[in-house]
Structure 1
Amino acid sequence: MKKFIKYFALALLAAVIIIFAVNYPKLDLISGFSAKSIASGHFLDGRQQQLIESGDNDIDMVRLAKNEIDEQGNFATASFYGLKKRKAIYREGLGVTLINDDFDATKPYDVPKRHFAKNTLPFPYGNNEPKDTVFNNIDYKKLNQAVASAFDKNSEKIKRSRSVLVIYKDHIVAEKYVTGFNKDSKILGWSMTKSITATMFGVLQKQGKMDINKPAPIADWQRDKRAKITINDLLHMNSGLEWEENYEKICDATTMLFQAEDMGKVQLEKPAIFEPNAHWNYSSGTTNLLSRILRNQFKTHQEYLDFWYSAFIDKIGMNSMIVESDMAGNFVGSSYGWATTRDWAKFGLLYLHKGNWNGEQLFDESWAKYVATPTHGSNNRYGAHFWLNAGGKYPDAPKDLYSCNGFQGQMIFIIPSKDLVIVRMGLTDDNAFDFNDFLKGILGSFKK
């Protein structure tokens, strides 16, 4: 019996050692995710640590991280039982950046110059409260029931919606928030930020400063077959470049987001393994490369920072939006855009109106069609940094629906045929939240 116990103990110890050895490399990602999440949620949206830990950080392994907030130093740290301690710093104007030990936090840095236009207009063209409007073709009881059904009852953690907003003909017809969140709460859009980044190219094209069909202006690519890759290929995620995006493991995407100093370089340095326009492959690295390409369109870093806001974001009154930067100072265009639910909805409305914002054309009408046209190899699921319903992913929604999608079910649904924009922010994706049923309920409240 003693010999059995001895061998059992040794086997158990060996198993623990193996499990630790396998998971140790992941600790950088776990503590990095936690530190960044805690710092951003707290310093950008004023959330208390407990709310962030029970919400944003309620993810396997991440919930085990030990977090601390330094109010005076404007940073947060996280570690996994004292191991792999990571630090994320807040800088006003740039949001939060996850840093390494080599980062000099005392070095001066440029900050975007923001312009918040003051007007007395109601939402969406101003920031005053929307006008009350009743539409005869809406069954408001059904609509409110459909919206309410997106939220958990009592203390459940199943659907985990934080906000739902429905806009019809430029009017808010339904709006609901979970306890702890309201119309002024900034919420991370994750990959919805990709659609923001793509829009910058639409704006540049309208201004005559960008031809997306020309080869990407990257000197290192001119010596090999990557020289044929165009901006258009990058926007469609079919450049042919090597990339792995799997958040269940250490991969290109997780290494980039939680370890890279210059996130745009990660995809830039990858080899081409397919011809352009021959293989669709979703890549956050591609979007950060596009952000880096945008940087190189301007003579100074200040001009690059300002352009995102002056030419587009603040132009449509998305004044709550912050796009966070990496250690190199470039915007993390793949993942780190924060805004209120109403401001995310304004972005959807800009596309619903084909680039026209209260009379000003920010990008060509054709750009809205461009981003919503299926890219080769995507099975009608993807356009140019937007997701599509052309292939019938949501069978009870119109085929012309297209959307900005983000991790854990951040969604902006744009439905031109119904004159609708629907926003849902939360902590669950398709595996736990039935988006088709959600859309069916809302669309069913509109009388034909």
Structure 2
Amino acid sequence: MKKFFKLIGFASFIGIFYLGFTTYPKLDLISGFSAKSIASGHFIDNRSQEMIEKGDNDIDMIDLAKNQIEDAGKFAIASVYGLKERKAIYREGLGATLINGDFDVSKPYLLPKRTTANNNSPFPYGNKEPKDTIFSNVDYTKLNAAVANAFDAKGQIKKRTRSLLVVYKDKIIAEKYDTGFDKSSKILGWSMTKSITSAMFGILEKEKKYDIYKPAPIAEWKSDDRKIITTNDLLHMNSGLEWEEQYDKICDATEMLFQAEDMTRVQLEKPAAFKPNTHWNYSSGTSNLLSGILRKQFKTHQEYLDFWFSALIDKIGMNSMVIETDMAGNYVGSSYGWATTRDWSKFGLLYLHKGNWNGEQIFNESWVKYTATPTNTSDGRYGGHFWLNAGGHFPDVPRNMYYCSGFQGQMVAIIPSLDLVIVRMGLKENPNFDFNGMLKGIIESVKK
């Protein structure tokens, strides 16, 4: 019997040792993700700690974190078994920022200047409710069934759709929200923010202030093989730079998002693994590098902060949007854009209308074509910081669909041939959520 208990004790020791060995290095990332998620969800969208923990933080390992919100100080802290405590602070206009012990919370900081148009027009060009519009070619019974099917039945948590919006010919023909969410809820787009970053270069290109086909303006690359990498290569995720993006482990992407002070430099410091335009490799580091390149196009930090909103976001009425910054004051152009579902749809409509917003050309029509043209190494899946269906990834969806895509299944789908924009926000992605089936059902309800 003693021998049996010794074996049990030894096995337990080995188990605890293995768990500690494999988990302890991840604690910084676990508590960092949790603190940042709690602070953002609570202060940007007014969600309760319980709601965030059961929703956004209901992820393997992340759910180990213990969290605390300090409303008075506008910050959240998280730790795992009392270890590796991390803190995220909230600043109105900049969102939540995960900080380290060296960050000076008393240091003054700049905020983007925001504008809200006093426009009495209905959605999408104004702030009033959309007009009820009935289209004779839309089968609303079929449409509503397809939309309802994207949500969980009561008591289930399989599909985990939070919102679904269908816009046809600029009119909302279907809109549905899960319990706890509504048209005013700001939802994190994750990597859909990459497409916002891309649009900023389209605006600079229209203003003839930037040439994406020239070598990227990075001094550190001028004396090595990276000197030939262009901004076009970066926008296509085709730079050849070394990068690992895999969210179930410690990798370049997770270390950048949850440890780096200046996220624009992480990809910049990586060596070339291949020649440009020969190997497609998805990289959030590249998107943040592009945010850093944008910052250097302006004389002051204030101009950089303002540009994203004055030139695009507020100009098209995405007034709910917040793009969060890192500790160095850079917009996290890879991942941290928040907006209401309706405002995300406005971004899709801008592309549907070939860069024209209510009569004003925000970027050139040629930029939209560039965005939706496949890079030659992605098998038709990727364009200029947008995902594509050119290769038929979604077999029952038109090949001309292109879309913004984010972690856990965020999507702004643009289908030019059908005059449709479809926005889905949620917590499940392929293969756990059937995007092809959802899109097929909606498309089949709209008769040509």
Could you tell me which residue of structure 1 aligns to residue 120 of structure 2?
A: 120
Could you tell me which residue of structure 2 aligns to residue 71 of structure 1?
A: 71
Could you tell me which residue of structure 2 aligns to residue 296 of structure 1?
A: 296
Mapped to 1, the partners of 2:74 and 2:243 lie a distance apart of 34
How far apart are residue 447 of structure 1 and its match?
Answer: 1.9
Could you tell me which residue of structure 1 aligns to residue 142 of structure 2?
A: 142
Mapped to 2, the partners of 1:444 and 1:380 lie a distance apart of 24
Moved over 3 A (4+): none
5 Å-filtered alignment, 1:310-325, equals: 310-325=310-325
Supply the AA of the counterpart residue of 1:228.
I
Could you tell me which residue of structure 1 aligns to residue 408 of structure 2?
A: 408
How far apart are residue 191 of structure 1 and its match?
Answer: 0.2
Mapped to 2, the partners of 1:19 and 1:56 lie a distance apart of 24
SS of alignment partner, residue 104 of structure 1:
coil
TM-score, normalisation: structure 2: 0.99
How far apart are residue 376 of structure 1 and its match?
Answer: 1.7
Could you tell me which residue of structure 1 aligns to residue 332 of structure 2?
A: 332
5 Å-filtered alignment, 1:398-437, equals: 398-437=398-437
SS of alignment partner, residue 134 of structure 2:
coil
SS of alignment partner, residue 393 of structure 1:
coil
TM-score, normalisation: structure 1: 0.99
Q: Deviations over 1:399-445 (max 9, x none)?
A: 00000000000000000000000000000001211000001100111
Mapped to 1, the partners of 2:360 and 2:192 lie a distance apart of 24
Mapped to 1, the partners of 2:11 and 2:376 lie a distance apart of 52
Could you tell me which residue of structure 2 aligns to residue 89 of structure 1?
A: 89
Mapped to 1, the partners of 2:18 and 2:442 lie a distance apart of 50
Could you tell me which residue of structure 2 aligns to residue 131 of structure 1?
A: 131
SS of alignment partner, residue 79 of structure 1:
strand
Mapped to 1, the partners of 2:11 and 2:340 lie a distance apart of 52
Mapped to 2, the partners of 1:123 and 1:345 lie a distance apart of 10
Could you tell me which residue of structure 1 aligns to residue 249 of structure 2?
A: 249
Q: Which sections of structure 1, spanning at least 5 residues, go unmatched?
A: none
Mapped to 2, the partners of 1:42 and 1:210 lie a distance apart of 38
How many residues were matched structurally?
A: 448
Supply the AA of the counterpart residue of 1:109.
Y
Q: Which sections of structure 2, spanning at least 5 residues, go unmatched?
A: none
Supply the AA of the counterpart residue of 1:336.
Y
SS of alignment partner, residue 222 of structure 2:
helix
Mapped to 1, the partners of 2:209 and 2:57 lie a distance apart of 41
How far apart are residue 311 of structure 1 and its match?
Answer: 0.4
Q: Is 1:446–2:446 an aligned residue pair?
A: yes
Mapped to 1, the partners of 2:34 and 2:282 lie a distance apart of 24
Mapped to 1, the partners of 2:54 and 2:174 lie a distance apart of 27
Mapped to 2, the partners of 1:53 and 1:4 lie a distance apart of 40
Could you tell me which residue of structure 2 aligns to residue 179 of structure 1?
A: 179
SS of alignment partner, residue 333 of structure 2:
coil
Could you tell me which residue of structure 1 aligns to residue 156 of structure 2?
A: 156
Could you tell me which residue of structure 1 aligns to residue 348 of structure 2?
A: 348
Mapped to 1, the partners of 2:363 and 2:246 lie a distance apart of 33
How far apart are residue 4 of structure 1 and its match?
Answer: 3.0
Could you tell me which residue of structure 2 aligns to residue 195 of structure 1?
A: 195
SS of alignment partner, residue 86 of structure 1:
strand
CA RMSD of aligned residues (A): 0.7
Supply the AA of the counterpart residue of 1:293.
I
Mapped to 1, the partners of 2:14 and 2:310 lie a distance apart of 58
Could you tell me which residue of structure 2 aligns to residue 30 of structure 1?
A: 30
Could you tell me which residue of structure 1 aligns to residue 110 of structure 2?
A: 110
User: Percent identity of the aligned residues?
Assistant: 71
SS of alignment partner, residue 382 of structure 1:
coil
Mapped to 1, the partners of 2:126 and 2:225 lie a distance apart of 48
Mapped to 2, the partners of 1:116 and 1:209 lie a distance apart of 26
SS of alignment partner, residue 315 of structure 1:
coil
Could you tell me which residue of structure 1 aligns to residue 233 of structure 2?
A: 233
Mapped to 2, the partners of 1:252 and 1:118 lie a distance apart of 43
Could you tell me which residue of structure 1 aligns to residue 278 of structure 2?
A: 278
Mapped to 2, the partners of 1:295 and 1:447 lie a distance apart of 45
Q: Deviations over 1:136-187 (max 9, x none)?
A: 0001111011000000011100000000000000000000001100000000
Supply the AA of the counterpart residue of 1:439.
L
SS of alignment partner, residue 315 of structure 2:
helix
Could you tell me which residue of structure 2 aligns to residue 375 of structure 1?
A: 375
Mapped to 1, the partners of 2:308 and 2:299 lie a distance apart of 15
Q: Deviations over 1:251-297 (max 9, x none)?
A: 00000000000001000000001001011000000000000000000
SS of alignment partner, residue 316 of structure 1:
coil
Q: Deviations over 1:386-408 (max 9, x none)?
A: 00000001110000000000000
SS of alignment partner, residue 214 of structure 2:
coil
Supply the AA of the counterpart residue of 1:225.
D
Supply the AA of the counterpart residue of 2:313.
I
